[in-house]
Amino acid sequence: MKLGIVGLPNVGKSTLFNALTSAGAEAANYPFATIEPNVGVVNVPDERLEVLSEISNSERIVYTNIEFYDIAGLVKGASKGEGLGNQFLSNIREVDAIVHVVRCFDDENIIHVDGSIDPIRDIENINLELIFSDLEQVDNRYSKVVKKARAEKSLAKERDLLEKIKTALEEGKSAREVELDDEKEKIIKNYSLLSAKPVIYVCNVAEEELTKDDNEYVKKVREYAEKTGDEVVVISAEIEAEIAALDDDEKELFLEELGLDSSGLDKLIKSSYRLLGLISFITTGEMETRAWTIKRGSKAPTAAGKIHTDMERGFIKADTISYKDLVEAGSVAKARDKGLIRSEGKEYVVEDGDVIVFKFNV
Ligand SMILES: Nc1nc2c(ncn2[C@@H]2O[C@H](COP(=O)(O)OP(=O)(O)OP(=O)(O)O)[C@@H](O)[C@H]2O)c(=O)[nH]1
Ligand SMILES: [Mg+2]
């Protein structure tokens, strides 16, 4: 599961990527500094693991992770070959969700490709490029399906669906704004439309803005995102990248000096995880306390299979307790005494924060 960092050139995408991954990707004050995507793996912060590792006296903590792709900047006309053209669009096609970086800081020294700071114009330019690219794809498919549907009745459904999406795209709407039932959602998944991918908007603000109320730019982005139901996270990429490069002691001092905590980045990673439709279940013991990733809605055997395929094949039951109940009880033994550990079967839908011991046949 991976997220693509998308936005205009020179807005701070690589800077944000470096803050997330400490990968040291090139971040430079000129457009199109990034050409080939940078890829980085990022631990998903989870305070629950620290608490449980205390309770279990674990030797180590293993976080789960997600992948970020730092993608080349997009400009107006990109779908028609402007800037780096269609190349980056195929990079976006590969990701499961989009982190859309929006410049919300004033700084005359940093070039803006359109000459002024205007986050809504910027967002709409990017979104339109994604929509244009999708429209081309949908149009192609549509003309084929219309012809075939005359002979093959089974294609009528796809034709109607394409018509609906085509109309929305032509009105400048993103494919994710079109309401679809589950079956149609499945058909549309096959096209991997760019504008169907879930989005978080990241407002990149100046360092001084972090401790203040939202600036005018951020307010506008929030208003815009509310209409489409998308999430907004405010961050200062540059300061976050500087902080990420420090060791832990220095980090704490620096944050204190600035009157900040690193909640912006943590919040972004957690939101990204949710955006991908992912949740964690937890295993805990003396050896380790560990988070495991599953898709929301997965059943217990699927979760077991994340640990080992044998556990899925030979699944018997899942001894389960919620994180909250376990912490309240104080230990696994006490929770057992109180009868708080549930024995769940094959049909159990695992919830975020479930602490599980699987029983299985080998
Ligand atoms: N003042 C200020 N400058 C920033 C901030 N974030 C990034 N920059 C600067 O903006 C310039 C561009 O940053 P990059 O991270 O390379 O931008 P990008 O979006 O990856 O750009 P391309 O790869 O060219 O598309 C660099 O000089 C950064 O130092 C910020 O929060 N404040
Ligand atoms: Mg870059």
- For 283-300, the pLDDT digits (tens) are 999 999 999 999 999 999
What pLDDT, in 10s, does the model give residues 49-59? Answer: 999 999 999 99
In eight-state DSSP terms, residue 207 is G
Number of H helices, E strands in the chain: 14, 12
Mean of the per-residue pLDDT values for the chain? 90
- Asked if residues 291 and 60 have their Cβ atoms less than 8 Å apart, the reply is no
Ligand nearest to the Cα of 31, by number: 1
- Is the shortest distance between the CB of 29 and ligand 1 below 6 Å? yes
CA distance 187 to 199: 20
> Which ranges of the chain does DSSP label H, i.e. alpha helix?
13-21, 47-56, 86-93, 119-151, 156-170, 182-189, 216-228, 237-244, 248-258, 263-275, 300-307, 309-313, 323-329, 332-337
Ligand 1 atom closest to the CA of 11, numbered from 1: 19
Helix (H) or strand (E) holding 316: strand 315-322
Ligand 1 pocket test: which of 11, 99, 202 has the largest number of ligand atoms within 8 Å of its C-beta? 11
pLDDT of residue 85: 62
What pLDDT, in 10s, does the model give residues 190-234? Answer: 888 999 999 999 999 998 888 888 899 999 999 999 988 899 999
- Asked if residues 263 and 233 have their Cβ atoms less than 8 Å apart, the reply is no
Q: Which two tokens stand for residue 72?
A: 């080349």
What pLDDT, in 10s, does the model give residues 75-103? Answer: 787 777 666 666 778 889 999 999 999 99
Please state the length of the chain.
Answer: 362
Q: Which of 181-185, 211-215, 272-276 has the lowest mean pLDDT?
A: 181-185
